[in-house]
Structure 1
Amino acid sequence: MDSQGPGRHVGRRGLTSPLRAVRRSLGTSMVLFATSAGIVLIAVLLVAVTMTIRNDVFSERRAAILTDAHQRTVAAQAAFDVATVDTADDLATTAQAQLAAINDSFAGAGGVGVSLRRAEDETATTVINDLTTNADLVALVTDDLVAQVDAGQAGTEYSQSVGIPDSAGGTDPGLVVGARVNLPLAGGYDLFLVYTLAPEQHVIDLATRAIVIAGAGFLLILIIGLWALASRVLIPIRRASLAAERLAAGHLNERLPVVGENEIATLSRSFNNMADSLEAQIQAWENLSKVERLFVSDVSHELRTPLASIRLAAEQIWQARNEIHDPFAARSLEILMREIDRFEQMLSDLLEISRIDSGRVQLRAAEADITATLRGVLDLVAVHVEASGSPIRLHAPAEPVVAEVDVARVERILRNLIVNALEHAEGSPIDITVAANDDAVAVRVRDHGVGMSPDVVKKVFDRFYRADPSRKRTLGGTGLGLSISLEDAVLHGGTLTAWGWPADGASFLLTLPRRLGPDATPGTFTKPGPLGVVPDDAPPVSRAGTHAVQTDEAAPVSPALTPSPASRRSDVDRNDDAGIAGPNGGDPEAPGRGAGVGADESPTAKTPEDALARGQREEEHP
């Protein structure tokens, strides 16, 4: 069975290839249809015309042969009537001479032989032998023809079509004409005259050959004409298709030549108008995007100066907090210190997002052990791990998992994923799994906390998105952490995918190629990678909630266009406790999670309690 399988597969592929070519090419379809129609038309024409010519020629020739045979039969009968015979030998001699005369005289009319045989119902006592001018033609006289002549009337000719042997071993069409004659003393005898139709068959063959040649020429002209017409129509269409592809690839100056006033020219003008409109719109959007990026960058930079002054003043007040006896003022100071830290983190994240959106980010590639990098991140967030009460369970191979990455960005991704899991694990264990194959490495962070609904999974990488705005954040964050993590993964040519289910926790999977491209460009790996985003202990019903956010390989961005962010912005209003929040249109009661913590978040705690503890340590160790 195995040896036959490939053969069947190849055969099936060979059969489907022409059909695929026909489906993909309108010109080929038109030519194939015209060829099929032409062949059928020529076959019908050939059969109809040939049969008409054959019937007409045969009818006319048969009538002429019957007339000639009638005249010769009458002449032979007259000769027998006037002949003086006394014996059978005299009759035989006379009959032989008459057959020879007929054979010599009717060759010009197509005659090839004459035969004379005694009628089956004749009872005369005088009998002569059957006579013939060509013994090979005796077998052409059939019993049916003999029966017709015997049963017919005297002076009436009867005919039958036969095949006459030729010198080449084949047969030519012919006609045998039979009639009754009366011989002196011997009575009734049947006279058979054999005529050939070879000249008429030659005429029919010439006509058939001429029709075939004319039909083949017509078919060839039809195919060439249709191919030329199809090419004239399809070449502009193909040109328009290629121009549309180039336009989609970012070549906004692509235009089609306009020739004439026909439908093709109208199509070209419409395409050019569309291209002009698209170029104008994209240019306007690009200018607007540049303005937005410059605004974000400038505002972020400009806000650093007053923020530094505010932080300096706040720290001075914080150092003198023991002199503040009003509980409300003390609480306000704690909130102020927390929001200053958050504001500073937000400015850093906005600057990073601005750099990514501008397309000016360059990776700093280096060989790194992903497992060692992960352990280093766990050491940095040890304070958060201890405060959350969620044990970390690391599942990593014993051998190093080496990949070419930007270590700082990978550390930021891992830190965001771990801190995000700590935020929502609610004291449950967190499983971190490291896996690798020949061309990719993967890290999955799985918590067993509140989880996410499928709707939240689809939006979890949106900037500033929070599924449950009322949920209190214990580790700070700006709502940009997961968005920046996704951007960092895409810069490596990797993917960052999410899975979650209410009350069953969530899972985030980072997959990166082992090798980057030339000059630290994004690398590639074979999908789906060494590890799946859905954990083994996930409920079966929850596997439909998997959502992957990754680069769009089907629609590459042209360098002619300004690079756009890989993550999505939610189309609904946001309004969290910092003025930017999750959507109002979702289900606020569904378990969810925030978009993560800041990309450059410090490993030390930023909560009011941590700030208070930091102040106490400063007092104890001035």
Structure 2
Amino acid sequence: MVLFATIAGVVLIAVLLVAITITIRNDVFAERRAAILADARQRTAAAQSAFDAATVNTADDLTTTAQAQLATINDSFVGAGGVGVILRRADGETSTTIINDLATDADLGTLITDGLVAQIDAGEVGTQYSQSVGIPDGDGGTAPGLVVGSRINLPLAGGYNLFLVYTLAPEQHVIDLATRAIIIAGAGFLLLLILGLWALTSRVLFPIRRASLAAQRLAAGHLNERLPVSGDNEIATLSRSFNNMADSLEAQIQAWENLSKVEKLFVSDVSHELRTPLASIRLAAEQIWQARDEIQDPFATRSLEILMREIDRFEQMLSDLLEISRIDSGRVQLRAAETDITATLRGVLDLVAVHVEASGSQIRLHVPEAPVVAEVDVARVERILRNLIVNALEHAEGSPIDITVAASDDAVAVRVRDHGVGMSPDVVKKVFDRFYRADPSRKRTLGGTGLGLSISLEDAVLHGGTLAAWGWPADGASFLLTLPRHLGADAGPGSFAKPGPLDVVPEDAPPVSRVGARSTEPVDAAPTPPALTPSPASRRSDVDRDLEQEEVAAPAAGEAETAARVSAIGPGEGPTVPTPEDVDAYKQQEEAPR
């Protein structure tokens, strides 16, 4: 507003200055010109009368008379602004008596233009003609002036043109003083305008700026931020409204924080309190399980199997809830140790070998020859990899699973890629939310609590890493874990240069699906996980221990078959997608009786 008003004021003052200056100059010039013409008319008439009364017999007498008359005019009209007189023979004069052109100042002869002479020659005797000229001054410059010319008749010589030269320097000085005064007044007015606008806008803009800063501090978590209220104007109304809004927000957020604390405390207490009766139930169930051969009723045997399976799931759920509770409390501390990520991955594959065999999927490892060493919490990284692999087995539907390990100077990455049912972009956006399942009605073979990927995400962020997801319907899904090679001080989150050694979107992904990735960025400080609320999370599921109970009794030949399902593929040694022959082989293997 101040800038716009300043520009407008400058333009307005400039226009007024030009208009006033032109008006003053025109008025002064018109008034002065009228006075000069009146003075020149009188002097021309007096000169004509003097020539008519003079007794002239020769050209010399006429010259003497003319010189005397020019000197008289020059001496008498100095007070009227005259600076010189010029007498020239008129063009077309045929008189035989000729005298030389006369001038009181020879330098003034250059001021007479052909145009002015032509006007006088074409006009009538006694008519005045004028022209503005620049009169040379002693400083090498020019001053404004006016030349007035008219025709007079000399005795014996006939028609001559008489030119009277007047200066306008005094009038120009007056115009300069007026212009200077207008400029000074305009500058003062502009300064007052700026100061007035600044004072006016300050009363409006400064309170608004204060309200904006207060809103930013309120958004940053300073819930006690308030604005001072004074008066009954619009700013005071705005301040009262802001304070009322801040009070309401503080009350609501405080209520939510209290509710969140109650929920966290409830989850923690319930999880701890349930472990004791759960341990008692497990001991009793295991005693019955050991004596299951003595049970004759098949319904009782089946009920015992279901009981054992559900106890395992209940125990897994309690473990997940306790882990979420510890993460939410912010008291998690990493146990840093340098380890080979490839060796850790192979160890996890050994742990889930039973599930690999049960799923019918082939695990294809794409690992570098050199060890991939990083400073991590081994237990948490194993849990992340186990969740990703088990989830891939759940949704691969017997298709191959490609696990790729890569490293850069400051990061390591593991990508788990299945070729199963895949995920839609909408599912990818929610895949890390707690308790979320892409299709709750879909048959699940490995159970789970819906917290697997959520816990994996928290574990990755604790390391300063990222966990990204990609999927496309009928083209499978891909999960990419990227961790820094070194943790921060006191086993805090580390950092690495983005984007990392691997891309979450696999090389065989359809081009249309390359925009469906969701990743999580590490934070600089210790992460602050969201409160445990009944919002959805992982589409995947954890391990169903009932399958372990069944597969433990499998023959030794099954273990060899499981080992055959994990193959290591070096760089550039094999395809990343199943061939038609592989698909036929998988179908035949699934259809064959076990």
- The interval holding the TM-score normalised by the smaller chain is 0.7 to 0.9
Corresponding residue of 1:596? 541
1:459 aligns with 2:430: yes
Q: 1:188 aligns with which of 137, 141, 159?
A: 159
Aligned-partner SS, 1:547: coil
The Cα shift of 1:302 comes to: 1.3
Q: Where in structure 2 are the equivalents of 1:283-322 lying within 5 Å? A: 283-322=254-293
The Cα shift of 1:145 comes to: 1.2
Structure 1 unaligned spans of 5+: 1-29, 571-581, 583-592, 615-622
The Cα shift of 1:608 comes to: 5.3
Corresponding residue of 2:68? 97
Q: Which amino acid aligns with 2:535?
A: R
**Residues 258 and 367 of structure 1, relative CA distance in 2, 3 Å threshold:** farther
The 10-residue stretch of structure 1 (82-91 or 354-363) with the greater mean CA deviation from structure 2: 354-363
1:483/1:595 contact within 8 Å kept? no
Q: Where in structure 2 are the equivalents of 1:535-614 lying within 5 Å? A: 535-550=506-521, 564-565=530-531, 569-570=535-536, 594-597=539-542, 606-607=547-548, 609-610=550-551
1:367 aligns with 2:308: no
Give the share of equivalent positions with the same residue, in percent. Answer: 83
Distance 2:212 2:473 in 1: 47
Aligned-partner SS, 2:337: strand
**Residues 201 and 105 of structure 1, relative CA distance in 2, 3 Å threshold:** same
The Cα shift of 1:107 comes to: 1.1
Q: Which amino acid aligns with 2:540?
A: A
Distance 2:443 2:23 in 1: 98
Q: 1:336 aligns with which of 301, 307, 311?
A: 307
Corresponding residue of 2:8? 37
Q: Which amino acid aligns with 2:530?
A: S
C-alpha offsets along residues 255-275 of structure 1, whole Å, 9 cap, x if unaligned?
A: 122233222222222111111
The Cα shift of 1:406 comes to: 2.3
TM-score using structure 2 length: 0.88
C-alpha offsets along residues 24-57 of structure 1, whole Å, 9 cap, x if unaligned?
A: xxxxxx3332232222212211211111111001
Corresponding residue of 1:113? 84
Aligned-partner SS, 1:476: coil
C-alpha offsets along residues 175-197 of structure 1, whole Å, 9 cap, x if unaligned?
A: 10011112122222111000111
C-alpha offsets along residues 297-345 of structure 1, whole Å, 9 cap, x if unaligned?
A: 1111111111111111111111111111222211111111000000011
The Cα shift of 1:97 comes to: 0.4
Q: 2:180 aligns with which of 209, 212, 215?
A: 209
**Residues 146 and 568 of structure 1, relative CA distance in 2, 3 Å threshold:** farther
Distance 2:496 2:218 in 1: 29
Distance 1:314 1:292 in 2: 31
The 10-residue stretch of structure 1 (51-60 or 423-432) with the greater mean CA deviation from structure 2: 423-432
Q: Which amino acid aligns with 1:313?
A: A
The Cα shift of 1:567 comes to: 10
Distance 1:566 1:176 in 2: 101
The Cα shift of 1:106 comes to: 0.8
The Cα shift of 1:91 comes to: 0.9
Q: Where in structure 2 are the equivalents of 1:60-139 lying within 5 Å? A: 60-139=31-110
The Cα shift of 1:563 comes to: 5.2
Q: Which amino acid aligns with 1:569?
A: S
Q: 1:396 aligns with which of 356, 364, 367?
A: 367
Q: Which amino acid aligns with 1:317?
A: I
Distance 1:124 1:230 in 2: 82
1:363/1:406 contact within 8 Å kept? yes
**Residues 552 and 43 of structure 1, relative CA distance in 2, 3 Å threshold:** farther
Distance 1:153 1:528 in 2: 98
Aligned-partner SS, 2:514: helix
2:416/2:479 contact within 8 Å kept? yes
Q: Which amino acid aligns with 1:609?
A: E
**Residues 210 and 394 of structure 1, relative CA distance in 2, 3 Å threshold:** same
1:504 aligns with 2:475: yes
1:225 aligns with 2:196: yes
Corresponding residue of 1:345? 316
Distance 2:522 2:193 in 1: 50
Aligned-partner SS, 1:191: strand
Corresponding residue of 1:355? 326
Distance 1:504 1:49 in 2: 82
**Residues 371 and 612 of structure 1, relative CA distance in 2, 3 Å threshold:** closer
Distance 1:222 1:369 in 2: 74
The Cα shift of 1:482 comes to: 0.9
**Residues 131 and 46 of structure 1, relative CA distance in 2, 3 Å threshold:** same
C-alpha offsets along residues 552-609 of structure 1, whole Å, 9 cap, x if unaligned?
A: 89xx99x9xx852599923xxxxxxxxxxx9xxxxxxxxxx942316xx8xx764552
Aligned-partner SS, 2:519: strand
Distance 2:201 2:486 in 1: 48
1:439 aligns with 2:410: yes
Aligned-partner SS, 1:314: helix
Distance 2:372 2:229 in 1: 59
Distance 1:271 1:434 in 2: 53
RMSD, aligned CA? 2.5
1:384/1:605 contact within 8 Å kept? no
1:396/1:435 contact within 8 Å kept? yes
1:486/1:566 contact within 8 Å kept? no
1:338/1:607 contact within 8 Å kept? no
Structure 2 unaligned spans of 5+: 556-594
Corresponding residue of 2:234? 263
Aligned-partner SS, 2:507: coil
Q: Which amino acid aligns with 2:542?
A: V
Distance 1:292 1:405 in 2: 31
1:155 aligns with 2:155: no
**Residues 525 and 336 of structure 1, relative CA distance in 2, 3 Å threshold:** same
The Cα shift of 1:290 comes to: 0.8
TM-score using structure 1 length: 0.84
Distance 1:442 1:170 in 2: 85
Corresponding residue of 2:214? 243
The Cα shift of 1:430 comes to: 1.4
Distance 2:477 2:171 in 1: 93
**Residues 252 and 362 of structure 1, relative CA distance in 2, 3 Å threshold:** farther
1:461/1:567 contact within 8 Å kept? no
Q: Where in structure 2 are the equivalents of 1:159-170 lying within 5 Å? A: 159-170=130-141
Distance 2:30 2:502 in 1: 87
Q: How many residues align?
A: 555
Corresponding residue of 2:504? 533
1:486/1:567 contact within 8 Å kept? no
The Cα shift of 1:426 comes to: 2.5
The 10-residue stretch of structure 1 (117-126 or 335-344) with the greater mean CA deviation from structure 2: 117-126
1:111/1:194 contact within 8 Å kept? yes
The Cα shift of 1:443 comes to: 1.2
C-alpha offsets along residues 65-96 of structure 1, whole Å, 9 cap, x if unaligned?
A: 00110111111112112212221111110110
Q: 1:253 aligns with which of 200, 224, 229?
A: 224
Q: Where in structure 2 are the equivalents of 1:471-486 lying within 5 Å? A: 471-486=442-457
Q: Which amino acid aligns with 1:58?
A: F
1:418 aligns with 2:384: no
The Cα shift of 1:348 comes to: 0.8
Q: Which amino acid aligns with 1:88?
A: A
Q: Which amino acid aligns with 1:430?
A: I
